[in-house]
């Protein structure tokens, strides 16, 4: 069976547009553009991504049908737009879309599921918090930027294993690994930290000429306020380290971690945990309310008394 015949079975080919349920002309667009388009490639790509044998052709064709129908749903005006949309709908992307739609179904918006999500969230947030603090304990090399925009000076900062002290000090060059605590000259007790300041509100971003820095530097800047008006100023090497350090410092102060990195981690871990916990409930209707508690029995003669029949007691 060639590609055209396969597509004819997948799509409502041969039927008039008016007879296609929910049709708005999109099928007609596809039929018009199909000449010069090789439908076999879709099937081969789907087979390769799924690594299926001939026994699973039906499954492959279902994916192909979904790829085509989703590509048509955006109403492409040309064959090139259709092909471009089709290339973005890989088998992996189709699985993600299916999972997202499944999570948005009514069952996953029911009260028991929402209660389970609320119960799990504090556990996941604590896991994220521990990961941030562990990264602070490993430490990070930060760069110094002078008024002349020289970027060849470095300093290192890391949190002590007991989470009570920040150790930091200047370096001659960027280190290849972790820097030991005893080689860092300065210390800042966590108990002395008053607040964490970010962005253009940082003191080193208010200095003369600092606001002329590019936007990237402003987005990577943060400062630690301690004592009355003393600051420890940072410029993170990248957005990831910025999120890790601002999250970790806020966690040390007992404040909420609000970075984009934390939100992404929360969504990913929560989604994974929900999937694992609901594996056994596939295609099972989840009730809105818990089942009623049965009445107490008239007697408890059915209870087995292990204490009286224990061999050590009888002997």
Q: What is the Cα–Cα distance from 47 to 200, expressed in whole angstroms?
A: 52
Side by side, the strands of the sheet bearing 230-235 are 193-198, 221-226, 230-235
Q: Are 93 and 66 in contact (CB under 8 A)?
A: no
State mean pLDDT over 170-176: 75
Is pLDDT at 312 greater than 80 in this prediction? no
Is pLDDT at 195 greater than 80 in this prediction? yes
pLDDT in tens, 84-98: 887 788 777 887 777
Q: Where are the beta strands (DSSP E) in the chain?
A: 140-144, 153-159, 165-171, 186-189, 193-198, 221-226, 230-235
pLDDT of residue 5: 57
Q: Where are the domains of the chain?
A: 3-103, 130-262
Q: What is the Cα–Cα distance from 286 to 107, expressed in whole angstroms?
A: 6
Q: 70-74, 81-85, 193-197, 206-210: which has the highest mean pLDDT?
A: 193-197
- Which of these ranges, 34-48, 132-146, 155-169, 285-299, has the smallest mean pLDDT? 34-48
Is pLDDT at 149 greater than 90 in this prediction? no
Is pLDDT at 6 greater than 80 in this prediction? no
Q: Are 50 and 56 in contact (CB under 8 A)?
A: yes
Number of Cβ within 10 Å of residue 266's Cβ equals 16
Q: Which fold has domain 130-262?
A: PH-domain like (2.30.29)
pLDDT in tens, 99-108: 666 665 545 6
Is pLDDT at 164 greater than 70 in this prediction? yes
Q: Are 143 and 153 in contact (CB under 8 A)?
A: yes
pLDDT of residue 57: 64
Question: Nearest Cα to 188, choosing from 224, 155, 222, 154?
Answer: 224
Q: Are 102 and 129 in contact (CB under 8 A)?
A: no
State mean pLDDT over 202-221: 72
pLDDT classification of 56: cutoffs 50, 70, 90: low
Q: What is the Cα–Cα distance from 187 to 34, expressed in whole angstroms?
A: 70
């Amino acid at each position: 069976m060639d590609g055209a015949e396969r597509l004819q079975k997948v799509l409502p080919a041969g039927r008039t547009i008016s007879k296609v349920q929910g049709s708005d002309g999109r099928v007609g667009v596809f039929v018009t553009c199909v000449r010069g388009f090789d439908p076999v490639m879709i099937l081969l790509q789907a087979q390769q991504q799924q690594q299926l044998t001939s026994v699973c052709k039906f499954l492959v064709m279902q994916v192909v049908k979904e790829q085509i129908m989703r590509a048509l749903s955006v109403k492409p005006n040309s064959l090139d737009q259709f092909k471009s949309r089709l290339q973005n709908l890989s088998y992996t992307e189709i699985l993600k879309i299916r999972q997202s739609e499944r999570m948005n179904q009514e069952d996953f918006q029911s009260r028991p599921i929402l209660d389970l999500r609320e119960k799990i969230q504090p556990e996941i947030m604590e896991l994220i918090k521990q990961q941030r603090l562990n990264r602070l304990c490993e430490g990070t090399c930060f760069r110094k930027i002078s008024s002349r925009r020289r970027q060849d000076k470095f300093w290192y900062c890391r949190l002590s294993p007991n989470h009570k002290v920040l150790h930091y000090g200047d370096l001659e060059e960027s280190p290849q690994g972790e820097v030991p605590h005893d080689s860092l000259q300065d210390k800042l007790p966590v108990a002395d930290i008053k607040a964490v300041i970010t962005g253009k509100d940082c003191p080193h971003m208010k200095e003369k000429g600092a606001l002329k820095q590019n936007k990237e530097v402003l987005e990577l800047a943060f400062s630690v306020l301690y004592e009355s008006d003393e600051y420890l100023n940072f410029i993170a090497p990248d957005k990831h380290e910025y999120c890790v350090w601002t999250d970790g410092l806020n966690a040390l102060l007992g404040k909420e971690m609000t970075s984009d990195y934390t939100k992404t981690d929360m969504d990913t871990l929560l989604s994974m945990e929900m999937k694992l916990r609901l594996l056994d409930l596939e295609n099972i209707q989840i009730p809105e309310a818990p089942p009623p508690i049965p009445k107490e029995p008239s007697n408890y003669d059915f209870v087995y008394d292990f204490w009286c029949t224990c061999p050590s007691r009888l002997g």
